[in-house]
Amino acid sequence: MAIQRMDNVAIVVEDLDAAIAFFAELGMELEGRMEIEGAFADLAVGLDGIKSEIAMMRIPDAPGRLELTKYNAPQAIAASPPVPNTIGLHRVMFAVDDIDDTIARLRPHGAELLGPEVAQYENSYRLCYLRGPAGIIVALAEEIG
């Protein structure tokens, strides 16, 4: 028995439209949007009375999807935004063509660099972490070498 693929990473957000706009600006495409509720959802997730809306975002012409989820019931629980050394999901990283342009396009959507500037690793990559929707950490990498 073998794993077939990693299907997606899910992110719970408060403002689904804003999260869709953020990841669309990054270059992802909205694959679909739907409401989720019922016994199957309650059983799969382990919560009672689920009413949520999801948006599946995909990377054009490449594997990789994000499921953005807004819980209407039960109400989503807000926690402090994670920092890079928080135990659990660390970050989601995207390879981009132009890191400076990407940051500039994401800033109007609330993106903030976690460090003072973009870092450079030798002559290979420029990298940064930034805060994205729902406080998640989004990493960007631009290959330069």
Residue 5 pLDDT: 82
What is residue 85's predicted lDDT score, i.e. its pLDDT?
Answer: 80
Half-sphere exposure (Cβ direction) of 55: Cα atoms closer than 13 Å: 19
Distance of alpha carbon 120 from alpha carbon 102, whole angstroms:
16
CATH number of 9-73: 3.10.180.10
10-residue mean pLDDT profile of the chain (145 residues): values are 83 95 97 94 90 96 92 87 77 94 97 94 94 92 92
pTM greater than 0.85:
yes
CATH of domain 92-143: 3.10.180.10
Delimit the domains of the chain by residue range. Answer: 9-73, 92-143
Whether 9-73 and 92-143 share one fold: the answer is yes
* DSSP sequence for 34-92: EEEESHHHHHHHT-SS-EEEEEEEE-TTSS-EEEEEEEEETTPPP-PPP-TT-SS---E
